[in-house]
A and B are shown apart, each in its own frame.
Chain A
């Protein structure tokens, strides 16, 4: 466990990250009856809609101020106001998020001033609009996601009476994962405010008539009282304080913060339940102990197969951290761990446990897929875990890919992948083990032939 490669390159080859506003759209999709508008040129909204729609298989409506040449030269204020008018008319949202793009930031648009003027002019004082500066050259979509959450809390949360609910703040995990976390909280008898909650909105059931803005999402009334919660559990170990909604609630309103890893793997999930016990005093029910036991049983069943795994793990820092931990617990040795984000916390956190493994792990931040591919080859990785963007690892290097995270474009069901909690971890682990097995069973006849027959016969003449 040694190397960490910082990056000062002139060119990114096959990106392992997306831009800030992309990350900022998703939290808004997890708030009840909300709508987003991007202040920038039309393409940004359309590209991001496409990207998100393809992953979740859901319609993703995102407005754009459709900045043109004139708006860029003389200011886009009028475009943004017209955009807001039209969004309000057609969608009748209860909350609007306004995100900038690189274009709006570069020409210096003050979205906070423009939107407050707008609300005053239209007699809409008090209507919740959350502005988020998300320049495309600022940070990656990971930071865009967390910064947006922080802005929402900053804007909506007010000093509130103490209550017994627990804030649960989740990263960009799948809707199925969010539903699982809610199920676990309910089994534990914990009352909670889950934020953001896109478990229903980005994985909605078929129903008629069609609603332009789907039902579900965190209620704004609940966000308002997050300041009075008993505690905050935030799955955000790798999140900088300046972008941490949990940290904000702690410093501003004295809500105790429990910053935890995503509950994947045995230890991380144990930590989650230990934390719930500490906050509420409640013990884990018998049914959950059974789920834990089944995970351990599954780990025993799989351990020998997994021990041949040399994994390359890539994606958003928070997910990468949890997956690396899960792999380490199961002998699927992480040999390359990579993120496109510049995240500085991730390497430190990984070193906390990777040193126990007695293998070399290359940790890459600000990375891209050309680097990831090269390192995977050099380190002899035989299984990849991450989004669809890693498909070249399979196509060009023959490393099979277990799809997890965002975006998943080339398979269905990205929104239904369950990977958290004891049960989710079991399912995730099965996906990994079965991929290792499939690869082994598909190739062992030819590899044994190559290794022991063909080479032998080249040296020893046949009769």
Chain B
């Protein structure tokens, strides 16, 4: 048991509520050899940009980075399928020695010739940053040559952690929207929805709710978005931000540049979904929108409450552990588990921010373990120590939970069922029930 904490530098990133200070160390580089669950800058940029459906996503680097990210996410499109391909310059040794700029330029030529896109994102990987290829210049020349937009994404893997990749993606998106004409009509009920990647139709579900309230979604960043829709982003009168970790930065830039106010929302769980819809309605200060919002919330809650109550009966008193990418998701999950009568006994994230950890600290019970940038041996130790019955996480955490004999909930990007909105709240409860109450555990003593 003690070996999990043999790494002393990790102590500052772990806290137990009630026993220690409120603050834990976060947003720093991972410690070597800790087997961090985190990915890299490129990963952060790729997850944010990849759902742009009609763009060419070209990875400038050796093959691995493109191989491991080819269509592994569940983002859906209502139009182009171009984004589901993984293009790579597949750099070879001679390219590394002599530079990869020419190959990149030829790769863009080939792809533009073949697919006729209006938009190309070129992602930098580790060695591109090291060999010093001038991405900016190559992209600029290609853009002029083909008369389309070719946008470099500065995502060399080693220049920070995943959060730096989010910013690189936001910079790329901002370049795209800032290069268009900007004109908007004040106070039109027209909003941008930031930080939803349309996993298993989640952005569509929220779009339907808002439509029912009389609000139009102008563009989603970036689920099921495309070149034309993104260009029109400045026309919105409000930005709502779901995944704050990835999109807060862009929301701020759009506020400064276009004067679009933004608010954080969450559509995970009944409480957060209802609150967020009310907040959005309140922003427009329009009786009709408010009335419709209340009617929608009332109708949906009536529909799903009996279902949730049924699951709650079965799940009451169980204990959950949470280890997810961002703080925003962790916060929503704690509330969502409360709705099901489940206490969270361990909660951690890969890229949570200071203020998010403060909220987490306030939400959880005494004795809950809070940790940043955890690794398998810490997860193992605390889940067993706190007697968790289930873990929420991603692909890498799943086999660990199962090997420990714990139930597991996929909350990663590759899931194929929606967890957003009222629909998602029911799906979530059902998934928790299906794993916690599976007969398999009878054989696992």
Residues of A bordering B, CB below 8 Å: 9-15, 17-19, 21-22, 37, 40-51, 53-54, 56-69, 71-72, 79-80, 82-87, 89-90, 92, 101-103, 106-107, 135-138, 140, 204, 206, 208, 210, 212, 340, 370, 389, 409
Contact = CB atoms under 8 A, between A and B. Distances in A.
B315 interface: no
Contact of B67 (A17, A60, A106): A17
Lowest 6 CB-CB distances: which A-B pairs, in order? A43-B40, A86-B33, A19-B64, A83-B33, A83-B32, A136-B62
20 contacts: A15-B70, A15-B88, A17-B63, A19-B62, A22-B64, A42-B161, A58-B403, A59-B399, A63-B32, A63-B34, A64-B36, A82-B32, A90-B3, A102-B91, A102-B96, A135-B93, A138-B93, A206-B403, A208-B405, A370-B85
B35 A47 contact: no
B294 interface: no
Interface in B42-83: 42-43, 58, 61-70, 72
Contact of A49 (B4, B92, B95, B396): B396
Contact of A64 (B30, B107, B127, B398): B30
Given A15-B67, A15-B90, A64-B30, A10 B130 contact: no
A210 B30 contact: no
Nearest to A65: B32
B106 interface: yes
Contacts of A57: 398-399, 402
A19 B127 CA distance: 14
A154 B62 CA distance: 28
A41 B157 contact: yes
Given A12-B66, A14-B85, A42 B90 contact: no
Given A47-B40, A137-B91, 6 more contacts: A10-B103, A12-B87, A43-B41, A47-B69, A90-B35, A137-B93
B158 interface: yes
B159 interface: yes
B70 A14 contact: yes
A90 B6 contact: yes
A247 B244 CA distance: 56
B230 to A, nearest CB: 24
Interface in B106-135: 106-107, 109-111, 125-127, 129-131
Contacts of A137: 62-63, 91-93, 95-96, 127
A80 to B, nearest CB: 7
Given A12-B87, A19-B63, A61 B30 contact: no
B110 A10 contact: yes
A89 B3 contact: yes
A250 B87 CA distance: 41
Nearest to A78: B32
Given A18-B63, A18-B67, A107-B130, A50 B395 contact: yes
Contact of B86 (A14, A40, A84, A208): A14
Contacts of B138: none
Contact of B43 (A9, A47, A53): A47
B89 interface: yes
Nearest to A21: B64
Contact of A59 (B69, B92, B110, B376): B376
B282 interface: no
Interface string B1-19: 0011011000000000000
Interface in B125-174: 125-127, 129-131, 157-161
B87 A13 contact: yes
B31 interface: yes
Contacts, number: 233
B11 to A, nearest CB: 13
B115 to A, nearest CB: 10
A44 B87 contact: no
B13 to A, nearest CB: 14
A87 B67 CA distance: 27
A11 B58 contact: yes
Nearest to A366: B90
B75 to A, nearest CB: 15
B157 A61 contact: no
Given A43-B41, A82-B32, A103 B160 contact: no
A270 to B, nearest CB: 36
B77 to A, nearest CB: 14
B131 A106 contact: yes
A19 B403 contact: no
A40 B103 contact: no
B400 interface: yes
Contacts of B43: 43, 46-47
B36 A61 contact: no
Contacts of A62: 35
A137 B92 CA distance: 5
A56 B7 CA distance: 29
A43 B42 contact: yes
A86 B111 contact: no
A80 B31 CA distance: 10
A208 B61 CA distance: 43
B272 interface: no
Contact of B377 (A82, A84, A90, A138): A90
B403 A69 contact: no
Contacts of A51: 68
Contact of A41 (B7, B93, B95, B158): B158
Contacts of A65: 32-33
A140 B389 CA distance: 41
Contact of A84 (B33, B35, B109): B33
Contacts of A17: 63, 67
Nearest to B34: A86
A43 B68 CA distance: 10
A282 to B, nearest CB: 39
A92 B158 CA distance: 28
A46 B158 contact: no
Most B C-beta atoms less than 10 A away, residue of A41, A69, A84, A212 = A41
A13 B85 contact: yes
A223 B35 CA distance: 27
Interface string B408-442: 00000000000000000000000000000000000
B70 A11 contact: no
Given A46-B37, A86-B34, A106 B111 contact: no
A342 B233 CA distance: 45
Contact of A63 (B33, B103, B110): B33
B36 A103 contact: no
Contacts of A79: 32
B177 interface: no
